[in-house]
Amino acid sequence: MHIRLISAIVVATCLVVGPAHAGKTTGKKLIEYGCDNPDTAFVREHIAEMEKIPFDGVVIRVTDNPEAPFESHTLGLEVFKGRKFEPSDYAHAIEDLKATRFTTLTDNFIQLYPPYFGTIDWYDPNWSVVAHNAACLAKVAKEGGCKGLMLDPEMCDPNNWPLWWYAGRVKDKKDAPSFTDYAAKVRERGREFIRAVNKEYPDITFLMLYGSSLTYAETFYAWNGDGGLSLFGPFLDGMYEAATPGTRFTDGFEYSYGYRNFESFSAARKLQLSGGRSVSACPKEFDQHARVGFGVWIDYNGNGEGWHTDDFSKNYFTPDGLRASLNYALRESDRYVWIWSEHFRWWPPVSAPKEYIDALRLAKVGPGPGEKHPLKPKITPEEAADFRANNGNNRLFDTLRKGKTEVMDLMAESWRFARDEPDKGRKLGWYRPGFDDSAWRAMPIAKYWEECGEDYDGYAWYRTKFTAPEIEAGKRVYLVAGAISDAAWFWLNGKPAGQRDLAINMWNTAFVLDVTGKLKPGANSLAIRVYNRTSCGGIWKPIKVMVE
């Protein structure tokens, strides 16, 4: 459930004011969705036990053959597959939900996970089957008393990655539509999709595990329409355009899975609103329909470190840590925060630890003491170096080389480094060209700072001086950073040159800063403030000057 895109992120400068959230938890809802997500029959049979856990809602599967569960299909995974749903496929699900006496689980969603299995082509004349199938699930949600549909756009089946990928959809096809034409078709399909859904369920709510923030992240990689998810934005825009006035699309912002501090959630709220709006072709409709949400992964890093019920301190989120993160997420959301789990189980017959159950309830009261001793996912400098080697520099810069020309690499060994634990470097002028950094240690880039003996999470600074050649008049000039873990702020010759935002988990991605008019022929100084949340940090890929 965790995407890491190869994209270049530039923070939008306009800040859009969304619906009033006021930093409070009142009226905010916690939604459960994990590998234990139940079907309608399970919910009907176990509702009393499920409602002992203080969630406000759950994502529910609809299966087409409850009498033979091992032969049944989950309809939410079949919407884009091309088989037309019949009432007999889902009528029993409506009856299950109608027969369930919901008391505290009031904000439930029906699962819709389109990209997981076979996908019908966007130009297929029978594409209306997809809209029909989505409308069937909307009917289940409406008649079953649910709030709406949970839509997950992530591509987890490598055989079907091309659903949102223009280049994959047109590969080896003669006379293939241009990206502009293809995006227009996908946008049309978005309108068709939401109109069918709204016909069954006007003013429905979508809980989207990724929303416009994913479009924003993808846009800066997809210079030629070649990003792996470059068609998701047009699909969203089509839905925004044609949705009924009260239809809402909550961005579940899966990037926030491991966030531990309020700063991260606050920055992510601004990014969802300003970044998402900046790449929408219909900003007015975006303002009307888009809403801010978050996802938190309770057993985050469990695949690497395991999940421990005997010693919570071995988990990435202890009960205190989970409470704090959920409180921050609720305060910065407009309404919904969802919790993902893989090893952890909430529902019967497993008994979830009482401490974690209490954390759900207490999160709405306040953050509590927070994580006293945050677990840092174990990764040795040697392992980090191996990862760095296996994610070669050439592959990171290949897309850029199609339209840009390399001028120079900044020397890897020419940098000075200092930690900034209290985060006072900006106030102290560490970005100024004349600042005396002679007391700082020498630190190469293109390595994690852990590889150089800095076992540290937090703020730190890099500084260097370099000589740039004369650039041909009329050329755009760019600083291209291969990858920085996790966030970075740049000053070129003492002036702000751009930043890569904290809210997007893009630690292994290339990104571009336009420094036209800021880079001088001859002597230049560059200062970079880096923030690393966890694991290995630093400027671990080369930095280049390129022109276009």
Q: Cβ distance 424 to 461 under 8 Å?
A: no
Residues 428 and 424: their CA atoms lie apart, in Å, by 6
Please tell me the distance from the alpha carbon of residue 458 to that of residue 537, in angstroms, as a whole number.
Answer: 9
Dihedral angle sign, alpha carbons of residues 180, 184, 189, 190? positive
Write out the two tokens for 438: 């002679």
d(CA 401, CA 224): 12
Task: Give the residue-averaged pLDDT of 105-113.
Answer: 96
Contact 360, 53 (CB under 8 A): yes
DSSP annotation of 192 reads: H
The Cα–Cα gap between 420 and 435 comes to 15
Q: Is the dihedral of CA 218, 376, 343, 269 positive or negative?
A: negative
Strands 205-208 and 148-151, bridge-based pairing:
parallel
pLDDT band at 337 (very low <50, low <70, confident <90, very high): very high
- For residue 32, give the H/E element and its range: strand 29-32
Q: Identify the pLDDT of residue 13.
A: 27
Residue 1 scores a pLDDT above 50: no
Which are the contacts of 205, defined by CB distance < 8 A and separation ≥ 6? 109, 147, 148, 247, 248, 250
- pLDDT recorded at residue 20: 46
At 378 the pLDDT is 63
Q: What percent of the chain has pLDDT over 70?
A: 85
pTM of the model: 0.80
Would you say residue 114 has pLDDT above 90? no
Q: Give the best-scoring range by mean pLDDT among 45-54, 79-88, 367-376.
A: 45-54
The answer to whether 458 and 531 have CB atoms below 8 angstroms apart is: yes
Q: Which of 325-329, 411-415, 532-536 has the lowest mean pLDDT?
A: 532-536
CA distance 259 to 533: 8
Pairing of strands 148-151, 109-112: parallel
* Comparison of pLDDT for 392 and 3, the residue scoring more: 392
pLDDT of residue 115: 62
C-alpha to C-alpha distance for 31 and 35, rounded to whole angstroms = 14
Q: Which CATH number, 3.30.70.2740, 3.40.50.80, 2.60.120.260, 3.30.70.270, labels domain 381-547?
A: 2.60.120.260
Pick the range with the lowest mean pLDDT from 80-94, 128-142, 161-175, 296-310.
Answer: 161-175
pLDDT of 17 reads 36
Q: Which residue has the higher pLDDT, 303 or 229?
A: 229
168 contacts: CB under 8 Å, gap ≥ 6: 161, 162, 228
Q: What is the pLDDT of residues 244-286, one digit of tens each?
A: 999 999 999 998 999 998 988 998 898 899 989 999 999 999 9
**pLDDT at position 149 over 80:** yes
Dig out the tokens for 37 from the structure. 């997500």
Nearest 10 degrees: Cα torsion 233, 236, 240, 244: 180
Least confident of 330-339, 504-513, 516-525: 504-513
Numbered ranges of CATH 2.60.120.260 in the chain: 381-547
Q: Of residues 229 and 410, which shows the higher confidence score?
A: 410
Lowest mean pLDDT among 203-212, 373-382, 420-429, 441-450: 373-382
Give the pLDDT of residue 69: 62
Q: DSSP letter for 352, please.
A: -
CA distance 132 to 196: 7
**Which fold would CATH assign to domain 29-363?**
TIM Barrel (3.20.20)
**CB neighbours (10 Å) of residue 171?**
10
Q: What DSSP string runs through 66-83?
A: TTSTTT--BGGGTTTSSP
The overall average pLDDT reported for the chain is: 87
Residue 11 predicted with pLDDT over 50 = no
pLDDT band at 99 (very low <50, low <70, confident <90, very high): very high
Q: What's the confidence (pLDDT) of residue 427?
A: 95
Q: What are phi and psi of 278, to 5 degrees?
A: -65, -25
Out of 4-13, 320-329, 403-412, give the one with best mean pLDDT.
Answer: 320-329
Supply the pLDDT for residue 68. 67
What confidence score (pLDDT) does residue 546 get? 93
Residue with the two structure tokens 């994502």: 59
pLDDT at 4 over 50: no
pLDDT of 10 over the 70 cut: no
73-77, 153-157, 163-167, 535-539, range with the lowest pLDDT: 153-157
Q: Does the pLDDT at position 133 exceed 90?
A: yes
CATH 3.20.20 in the chain is located at 29-363
- Between 242 and 66, the higher pLDDT residue: 242
Residue 243 backbone dihedrals phi, psi, to 5 degrees: -70, 150
